[in-house]
Structure 1
């Protein structure tokens, strides 16, 4: 399947930042524009309303009486003549419309049925706008409601703001006409237009600035990632000595660089271990195969000269080499099983620890007749019972004893101990008086295929491939137990396995060498069989 094209990572970051900023600026601009338009509209409506209210209120209140100094309008004429009264009212309405008309405001007086009663434009001032006539029903609605109404409408001169105000009779208070006052909305439209241009230009400048500023910034931020990509390509080509330069800042990229270098280091170590394993496995397999091939060839050539003893020695040698290869295969298969499904390799049950240790001591004595094998069992721990796979625990202890035998010269002591470790735990130990392990090698003894002393493990064909302690660690981890090692070069090594255990304390039946120290219970040596 063909994947869609994606821009480089830095451009994706920039596009995301620009998109987020554009949305924020757009929302801010819309809110600002709406609020400012509302404020300007309210200001225009208030200006139109407040400019008309005093004049209309003065007209509705009627002319004031003459003052004491003779000032003031003349008294009203008698209203005996209806015609004269209508003419006077008409003149007053026209005068009202003229007073409400200015250079930027047009006013007219319209009856409730839509008849024009007075037009300020025709009576005097010539404003810059012309307010179109509305439908007659609109004036009737305003008169019926008795409340002013503000209307925005479009005309040839642009947007107009029209205020319709009911005009009340001086005597009865009834609505007799509607005052129509209109002004241009052009100044508000111009201000809003300039605001739109400023906001658009500001957004464009801000987005362009973000792009220009983020290009070098993202180049610097992503430089460690580019170095990692280059280093990864070099590592893929086989150069495992390459490392990524760690950025000075203490951030996620620094943590990523440390993790990357650590990963490469572990990969280098694993590959080196595998190369060493292949070399060791080749050597270990070549030796028995060579011996087997030589033995078969000697038998075919009749080198035994019909001597049963010589043939038996040759067959025993070949059988030993076959057993050595079998042990190697078994150890590798064990590790594969523990790697695949460790729990499936266990057959849990109750483990009587003391009988198991005594059995192991007997077996180790047969395998190492030239060593002193000692059981150091705390009387308080003689009845301890653990839960686990007895066969796997026996395998782990035998592996430890095999390593102890290889590290201890003939005549040395191998001690298998058991004691309580707290209220509900047991500690099983295997200690030797051998050469010990250097502090430099100690942290790596659990690694697979690792051997602290290659020359010693190869000497006499005793050592294996360095899988013994790895199998011990796998068995302990599969049970959820704990294992530790303590060693000093030239003194000896002690490996401890701690596991949950139960069992009542037994009365002390052994001899104690000193207070607080468990007695040594040596098992008598059997006479050597010939």
Structure 2
């Protein structure tokens, strides 16, 4: 969570920088380009001021007095500067490739400036072999044009200066993102720390510790409110479970005692009758059988209540070892029915389960399979695992169930048409499901995928 919060905060900073930075960069590039051109215009007018007096006093083809000013532009700014007379002939320049007296009147900017109008822009230069940015201003004396001062730079030089300015903005943006990341760390920790503490309390509550309480005195207001709600919930759950546990204990005592007494009285009555009344003896025997069935049902209902209200923690068990132990226990009974019994499992398949629960689940599945499997059929226990889960399947060749019945089979007291008259209470699969859920897993009945009749009774638990 901390990493996600930091990433989110840095992401927001990046989005803000992009939203404002892209238009800002475009604006800065435009302003920087205009600033550089404006600086060239300013320098051109300054040079024109220096050139006016000299051009006014001499018809000259050379103006040595202007050379220092021209060389200054060459050394400090890298700008190419030249001055022409009124005929467009060069009289001074800081470019050694230009010959004094060369005719520049055919240059568009010089021609325009000779009309008394300053010229600013860019064009392709055959001399440079690249675009040229220029400023050409007339040297005026009243209404007379004495000459032209032209300053020029390769466009690449202007572009480089603009890129440098944009690079400076990008560096500032990068430092902003880094600063946002540094500031996001304590901010994210401040938010995540109380939530992490609350998560640990929730995990303890899930493990059955109803005495755990969250700290509702620190953290953001929303987290404090959530902690208070958690404490109320934990208290109510603990009270409910405790009441259920007391109820199960009370019911266990109150029901077992009269059932045991009833069974003893039926045995006494059967002994008293002896062989005098066969019909009465049969009735008493049937009553004893129903009493035993009722007692078994009470025991299973109490076991189910204890599971539903239980707080047992899970531990690491080896599903492969348990599958082999259940196979050994049930193999002889299956052999009496001429049923082939097999087990397939990896060397080790550790998973999370309540102690004793996986044994009880597998026993219940096998017991149900033996109750419906025809003689001479096969029952297989198959254990499989992947990175996240361990599955134990008990596969039979009985009549199977339709999809609707497979969903109802885990309900209390539900019986299929093939087991309506079989011994049992109809609570076995309900207990299986509760044991699986209490262990953090699932229990389900699936149809076979090989086209044969029968069921796959599966329990899936978290791998460890």
Give your verdict on TM over 0.5: no
TM range (shorter): 0.3 to 0.5
Rg: which structure is higher?
1
TM-score relative to the length of structure 2:
0.42
TM-score relative to the length of structure 1:
0.38
